[in-house]
Amino acid sequence: ATASPHGGMLRFTFPQNEQSRIQIDLSRRVGGTSVLQYVKVADNHTIRGWMKCTPAGGGLGDGRGKADYTVYFYAKFSKPLTNYGFWSADIPDEWNRKLRDIVSKPYLERVAQSEIIRSKNELEGKHIGFFTEFPTSEKEEVSLSVGISFVDMEGAEKNFNAELTGKNFNAIRCAAYEQWNKALSVIEVTGKSEEEKTIFYTALYHTMIDPRFVSDTDGRYPGPGNTIYQSANFRKRTIFSGWDVFRSQFPLQTIINRQLVNDEINSLTTLAEQSGKEYLERWEFFNVYTGCMVGNPGASILADAYVKGIRDYDVEKAYRYAMNHSLKLGTPDRGFFTNTGISNTLEYAYADWCISQLAGQLGKQEDKKRFLERSQFYRNIFDTGKGWFRPKKDDGTWAEWPEQGRLKEGYGCTESNPYQQGWFVPHDIGGMVELMGGLEKTRLDLADFFNRMPEDMLWNDYYNHANEPVHHVPFLFNRLGQPWLTQKWTRFICKHAYKNEVAGIVGNEDCGQMSAWYVLAASGIHPVCPGETRYELTGPLFDKVVIHLENKKQFTIATRNNSPENVYIQKATLNGTPYNKCYIDYSDIMAGSILVFEMGTKPNEQWGSN
């Protein structure tokens, strides 16, 4: 198998046989089944058709994602279609057709009893397939090339002609190789083992999958209600796992793929407009507002992009839709949520800070003041008696404190416990520390948070790298004046949470977030608060990291005396000048700076601690 941006090719190698066959089950999709399919033999080498995918057939969230889209295809066989046919399974209308259903014995029996149809050249049905039969010689190669579109059948044919016409398997494969090699070469790492390089480039590859583009080669794309739109200045993208990817994935993309960031902001903004909802969605899938997770992450990626000079979109419109989200779905005027009260209140406090920062840059001083005040709502759910964040009831009194205390998963939190979620005040760390009892108390508590996590780093009650709410927390030591502990724990996480195995990461990939954390941390940088231009520094895993920037410059991070034992930064230079900060600004990165660390076995508690 090999692929192009809008299609691909399968190459089958057959034995000698009078009746070899290629058959295609047109109903199958990831996570379930398409609910209606159509296929037509267009000429003696070509079939075309579509598969209709709705929530009734499963898919994202077993259908709870509510996605409704159609995949159109245009396919050519290298062997002529001289002996072909269809099959059609009789699936009762009342049967469920999600993933668990289509693998059941009754469903599979119905498929096995499908009607074979040879007398037609087109067919539509609820579970149909196509087959073609032909004689083959020993080791004869037969290819099947396919162009796809989410717009229409003409789009699938256009995409096919643009990328596959006149090309054999090796030509398509070489083109794919070159495209991926160019994309992955944006970061070059040297030093360390081939195993560690494989982990790094696998992670980098993962960050380049979503959000994926769904526009055709001519710029057309499907909008809400499957209305077709045309874009000339951006590629329509989908699968915005916002709650996950604002933390590491998009801060990485602002360095290595600024166009993707522009694309995504344009995609979210046009969706808000075309759908009539007029707010940025937090978890978008094929134009659907899934409402999955919490917070307003669109505000984060917008504020982060704008402050970094990534601005190829209608910022006034994007700003209005980000603000509308917080006013429509954000923290109520009373200053706290009761539903999942800790996660919601903290995440929206940060998002409101993002809006305030963008408002200030746009000269909207009243908005800036208003949302800056809202960003302090996190204080409303801190119980000084318990010394931690705690959910409230509708009447403003505290929810009952559980026997497990702040280790109780789900107590006011999304996919976390209060101990994990409570560290999320990235926009006001000083205020957070004050609430937590001061610097020394906070340092001890944060150290204990890491010291108690298991070495295998699987799901646990302390630092739980398997899920996103804590991904910024190792870098908080930098903000607390103990950067050597950031260096210690990021190296530990890189070693124990990422492996070159099938189950090589400790949690879900979550659309590139888990891998983006590794790419940044292994390179020696990571943000705490997207929307700021500050990236925290830590000891890089590799001896040298070179990031090739879109402005044709190179940002280089190099080390001396780097080894598995030498995890601590002893001193540093930036462009040849001694550098004693535990962070670097985005402007220094994009200027093509050279940052050099000297590493050692013991912490230098003076470096970067001020």
Query: Domains plus CATH for the chain?
Result: 2-168 (2.70.98.10), 185-214+438-610 (3.30.2080.10)
Say what the pLDDT of residue 4 is. Answer: 98
Say what the pLDDT of residue 610 is. Answer: 82
324 is written with which tokens? 């509308």
10 is written with which tokens? 């399968």
Mean pLDDT of 528-552: 98
CB atoms within 10 A of CB 92: 8
DSSP 8-class letter at 505: B
Say what the pLDDT of residue 65 is. Answer: 87
Inter-residue contact 60 to 290 (CB < 8 Å): yes
Residue closest to 607 by CA, chosen among 577, 568, 574, 575: 568
Please tell me the distance from the alpha carbon of residue 24 to that of residue 27, in angstroms, as a whole number.
9
Please tell me the distance from the alpha carbon of residue 549 to that of residue 522, in angstroms, as a whole number.
18
Confidence grade of residue 201 (pLDDT, cut at 50, 70, 90): very high
332 is written with which tokens? 């109520």
Dihedral angle over CA of 193, 197, 202, 203, nearest 10 = 110
Please tell me the distance from the alpha carbon of residue 326 to that of residue 319, in angstroms, as a whole number.
11
Query: pLDDT of 51-65, one tens digit each?
Result: 999 999 998 889 888
pTM as predicted:
0.97
pLDDT of 212 strictly over 90:
yes
Query: pLDDT of 422-439, one tens digit each?
Result: 999 999 999 999 999 999
What three-state secondary structure class fits 198?
A: helix
Mean pLDDT of 146-151: 99
Mean pLDDT of 319-327: 99
